[in-house]
């Protein structure tokens, strides 16, 4: 008999789970709302001198500093986002590499 076969021949439904996979990364909505205007959805737009995030050498710590404090034309987000939200945006921005 093959593994997973029922000898009685009745079919059983696959087990159900109450957990669902997230449809998008937590920081994506925040990135889209606050960053995509200059960086673009894919991180390459470059409006207002925004850096290409796909080519950035900044690690998580560097990006956290810049999102929190701003740099050049980029505004500081420390008064608009919580530290947890900033970490979510930074984590999402790292997926654009």
Distances from the Cα of 4 to the Cα of 12, 20, 41, angstroms: 10, 25, 44
Q: So what's the architecture of 28-94 in CATH?
A: Orthogonal Bundle (1.10)
Per-residue confidence (pLDDT) for residue 64, from 0 to 100: 98
> Model-level pTM?
0.75
Looking at the predicted structure, is the pLDDT value of residue 80 above 60? yes
Q: Residue ranges per domain, the chain?
A: 28-94
Better-predicted residue by pLDDT, 87 or 7: 87
Better-predicted residue by pLDDT, 14 or 52: 52
Lowest-pLDDT range, 15-19, 43-47, 48-52, 77-81? 15-19
* Secondary structure of residue 38 in the 3-state scheme: helix
Q: How far apart are CA 36 and CA 47, in angstroms?
A: 10
Whose structure tokens read 């390459």?
44
Side-chain half-sphere CA neighbours of 24 within 13 A: 10
Q: How far apart are CA 44 and CA 90, in angstroms?
A: 16
């Amino acid at each position: 008999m093959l593994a997973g076969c029922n000898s009685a021949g009745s079919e059983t439904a696959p087990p159900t789970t109450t957990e669902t996979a997230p449809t998008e990364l937590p920081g994506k909505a925040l990135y889209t709302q606050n960053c995509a205007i200059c960086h673009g959805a894919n991180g390459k737009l470059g409006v207002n001198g925004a850096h290409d995030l796909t080519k950035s050498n900044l690690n998580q710590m560097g990006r956290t500093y810049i999102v929190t404090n701003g740099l050049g034309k980029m505004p500081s987000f420390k008064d608009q986002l919580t530290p947890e939200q900033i970490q979510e945006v930074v984590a999402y921005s790292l997926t654009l590499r």
